[in-house]
Amino acid sequence: MTNGSIHSWRVRIFAVTWLAYAGFYLCRKNFSVLMPLLQQHTGITKDQLATAIFGYSLMYSVGQFVMGTLSDRFGPRRVVTAGMLVAGASSVAMAFHTDTPSIIALQAINGMAQACGWSGLLKIMAAWFEARNRGVVMGWWCTNYALGAFLATTFGTFAATSSLLFFPSWQRGAWMPGALLMLLAVGFSVLVRNGPVALETRAESRQSLAKFLQVARSSNIRVIAGAYFCLKMTRYAFLFWLPVYLTERLGFSPAEAGYSSSVFELGGFAGVVLSGYVSDKLFQARRFPVGALAMMGLGCACLLPTMAGLTGSWIILPAIALIGLLNLGPDTLLGGAAVQDSSTRETAATASGFVNGTGSTGQFLSPFLVSGVVQRFGWDALFGLFFVLSVAGGLLLTVKWSYRVPEEDPALCLKPAPTLP
């Protein structure tokens, strides 16, 4: 490829992969919007909702380990496309199967399909973009987390609460996002390529177990995974339970709660971009100190909602925005640039799957943790727990405070494949 051709492809790959991961949120965030409506219209209980989220999160966690390895072995284009199609189909099916067992089963299927996204897309980005500006590039790319979730939340809320078409309101919030994601899957499959020609035609290694063990021995990857456990337990509690908190604790209507909860992603958008620039420009491509400082700040921000009784509810939306900024910033930095820095071209998807799979164990524990703590001790106690988790994750990251990315391979602006740190 010529330099001009590579540049054009990079623009295309950036846009298509960004849209693909943002699209996954159509069938991830819509369930959180639907939760208060499901309680009202189907009689599903908080514990049953927790079971559905647990099933989703368990399969998502298991799927991360599996799908990362499959993306390294068979190529991410196939794996990501399949995941988008299945996730969309499971959401569409939920509109027509409204009994509790079906909802729980479909959320489990959705969780496995969602696991196809991040590791495969991260591998594609590692193949197309150089390491020297990785913090900035991945910072902008990772806005798919925040902006995608924001758009998915607002679209899901609009579909579920507006007077449209022929279905009961909450069912529209299930099938409309699913149908849109399936359309995006077709476009992704047509437009994306796994890497430049030199990489696209290269045979994929079949030593999946060796790759996994290589990744698991990396001290960097283990530290990232540990911090990610804390981040994802907090993040997914907000992702699924924030509308319920706003309706139960503060008396918001379902529509107000759905739209207000999107402030988390708006704050997160700023955090995602800011963390990339700060790590590249102020910390010379060191990701760990930025993650550590942000997570400690996150712990303090999680205490702000507990002050609502003293200050009034005006503090809630700014607090949610700040929590989003300090959660999604280190989340995307660690799960994106830091994983790429600490892995190789051949193991990028496996490393991403390992980190996300470990982090997702916190994710699938969070629904019962949230339900149990809130019912026994109240919402304020839950925010106190988030403080402890966030500070613990920040302290863990300080172990790798001085680590910086090795020199890259000028052949394709990608790192060679030495032993992982």
Domains identified in the chain and CATH numbers: 3-193+205-400 (1.20.1250.20)
According to the model, what pLDDT value does residue 372 have? Answer: 85
Confidence at residue 2, expressed as pLDDT on a 0 to 100 scale = 57
Average pLDDT over residues 41-51: 83
Mean pLDDT for the chain overall = 83
pLDDT > 70 fraction of the chain, expressed in percent and rounded: 88
**pLDDT at residue number 207:** 63
Give the residue carrying structure tokens 């758009």: 151
Instruction: Express each pLDDT in 70-79 by its tens digit.
Output: 888 888 999 9
Residue 1's pLDDT band, with cuts at 50, 70 and 90, is low
Q: What is the mean pLDDT of residues 97-115?
A: 92
Q: Do 330 and 201 meet the contact criterion of CB atoms below 8 Å apart?
A: no
Q: Report the pLDDT averaged over residues 305-320.
A: 75
**pLDDT average, residue stretch 90-106:** 91
Question: CA-based angle 287:289:295, to the nearest 5?
Answer: 100
Q: Is the pLDDT of residue 365 over 80?
A: no
pLDDT of 132: 67
pLDDT, average across residues 413-417: 39
- Looking at residue 309, its pLDDT comes to 60
Which position has the token pair 């919030």?
173
- 205: which 2 tokens? 């290694």
pLDDT band for position 107 (cuts 50, 70, 90)? very high
Judge residue 275's burial from the number of C-beta atoms within 10 Å of its C-beta, 0-12 exposed, 13-18 middle, 19 or more buried. Answer: buried
Q: How far apart are CA 328 and CA 236, in angstroms?
A: 11
Gap between the Cα atoms of 354 and 206, Å rounded: 17
Most confident of 151-155, 359-363, 400-404, 407-411: 151-155
In this prediction, residue 3 carries a pLDDT of 61
Report d(CA 193, CA 183) in Å as an integer: 18
Task: Please write down the HEC assignment for all residues of the chain.
Answer: CCHHHHHHHHHHHHHHHHHHHHHHHHHCHHHHHHHHHHHHHCCCCHHHHHHHHHHHHHHHHHHHHHHHHHHHHHCHHHHHHHHHHHHHHHHHHHCCCCCHHHHHHHHHHHHHHHCCHHHHHHHHHHHHCCCCCHHHHHHHHCHHHHHHHHHHHHHHHHHHHCCCCCCCHHHHHHHHHHHHHHHHHHHHHHHCCCCCHHHHCCCCCCCHHHHHHHHHCCHHHHHHHHHHHHHHHHHHHHHHHHHHHHHHHHCCCHHHHHHHHCHHHHHHHHHHHHHHHHHHHHCCCCCHHHHHHHHHHHHHHCCHHHHHHHHCHHHHHHHHHHHHHHHHHHHHHHHHHHHHHCCCHHHHHHHHHHHHHHHHHHHHHHHHHHHHHHHHHCHHHHHHHHHHHHHHHHHHHHHHCCCCCCCCECCCCECCCCCCC
pTM above 0.85, yes or no: no
247 falls in which pLDDT band (50, 70, 90)? confident
The angle, 0 to 180 degrees and rounded to 10, between the axes of the packed helices 100-114 and 76-94 is 160
pLDDT for res 166: 57
Q: How confident is the model at residue 21 (pLDDT cuts 50, 70, 90)?
A: very high
pLDDT for residue 392 = 95
More confident residue, 233 or 181: 181
Taking only the tens place, the pLDDT of each residue in 314-329 is 678 899 999 999 998 8
